[in-house]
Structure 1
Amino acid sequence: MSTPLEPSQIEQIQAYDAEQRYKYLVKEVVSNREIWILTDEHGCVMLNTDDEDCVPVWPNKEFAESWATGEWENCKAEAISLNKWHSRWTYGLEDDELAIVIFPNQDEDGLVVFPDELDFELKQQAKKSGNR
């Protein structure tokens, strides 16, 4: 379970560029053993890029909730355990030919990666930090 972030931390992290947010997400997800999505009555919220249908993911509840505004104000932030992500989500997203948007913020899009790429990065980080 993650520790709530201070407003100053949130502001600082929101200012990261897409690559920095990706690295932050990988470290946080491995450290906290959970990744965050937004859900509504239809399931997981999706974004569309020119080329891909994507599932946006965030490293912390606060960032996911900050996206639940406007047309998404009825969405809820939901944590997925890292084990469940590895065992179900990576394969499910690949089977559905969905990509992942890494930690989009209000000012810019996140990086778009494929599920196996994120899975690989998370496992590499877990090895580095000794979390398995």
Structure 2
Amino acid sequence: MYISPQEMEHVSKLTPFARYEYFIKRVANFGEMYALRRDEEWLLAELDGHKLFPLWSAEDFASKNAYGDWVDYKPVSIELDVFNEEIIPLISSSEYLINVFSVNQTSGFVVTHEEFMRDLSEELEKYD
């Protein structure tokens, strides 16, 4: 999915919660999200002693965060069924939180996997 430079700039300036809402709508509409991965290792961030699993709504947004300590990580598309079957069990069993749409490697909107799945399910119902 193409993201214009204007949209990139505009969305990046939104509040974390507004980026979260944007993310949920985009993922429900397009059926995929992006994370950063190096070989077989998912990128995990840390905040206040909690491990965070960062997610973005488009490859361009994820790529923009792959610098510094994260430079070796590459954006990976995750379709909704793969997310539900593989990623959610990993997040749940490891007690990770989900960091939605960080910008410049700073925290985005952080939620539990239950909150995330509830919000995404509610949005997906609008598309049925």
- For the aligned pair, the TM-score class normalised by the smaller chain equals over 0.9
Alpha-carbon distance between aligned partners in 2 of 1:129 and 1:20, rounded to the nearest angstrom: 20
Task: State TM-score, norm by structure 1.
Answer: 0.91
| Counterpart position of 2:101 | 103
2:2 corresponds, among 1, 4, 7, to: 4
How many residues are matched?
128
Q: Secondary structure at the match of 1:129?
A: coil
Contact 2:34–2:57 under 8 Å retained in 1:
yes
Paired residue type of 2:3 = L
Q: What aligned pairs does 1:1-132 form with structure 2 within 5 A after superposition?
A: 3-106=1-104, 108-130=106-128
Structure 1 gap segments, 5+ residues each: none
Structure 2 gap segments, 5+ residues each: none
Task: State TM-score, norm by structure 2.
Answer: 0.94
Which consecutive aligned stretches of 4+ in structure 1 deviate over 3 angstroms post-superposition? none
**Identity of counterpart residues, as a percentage?**
23
How far the C-alpha of 1:28 sits from its partner, in A, is 0.6
Contact 1:91–1:115 under 8 Å retained in 2:
no
